[in-house]
Amino acid sequence: MTKLILDVLNSLEVVEQEGGDSAYILVENTPETRAKLNAVGVTDEQIMAFGDEETFCILSLACHEGYADGYQDGKLVEWGDIEDEIIVTEGRGDKS
């Protein structure tokens, strides 16, 4: 179901966005937008928790509700659990 929700969220027309430490992605809060999200299981209460009568933030909605855990190449994404392993490629660090 999460994939369907992400597909719908990523299909919505963005009206304003900002990156960085205070990132947000706003879409219009219309009956049509809510109907698309309601059809895949997102409630009006969830939507309204992240906006107002005019717009809501799909970045906050997706991350807070557990539908996404990142944003890459203009799309909300779910990477899932990441292993606790770090692979380090060692180099000599000199010019010889």
pLDDT tens readout for residues 18-52: 988 999 999 999 999 999 999 999 999 999 999 99
Q: Where are the domains of the chain?
A: 2-77
Q: Which of 70, 77, 81, 6 lies closest to 42, judged by CA?
A: 6
Confidence of residue 77 (pLDDT cuts 50, 70, 90): confident
For the full predicted model, state whether its pTM sits above 0.85: no
CA of residue 53 relative to chain centroid, distance: 20
- In the chain, the percentage of residues whose pLDDT exceeds 90 is 65
What span, in angstroms and rounded, lies between the C-alpha atoms of 37 and 15? Answer: 17
Confidence of residue 88 (pLDDT cuts 50, 70, 90): very low
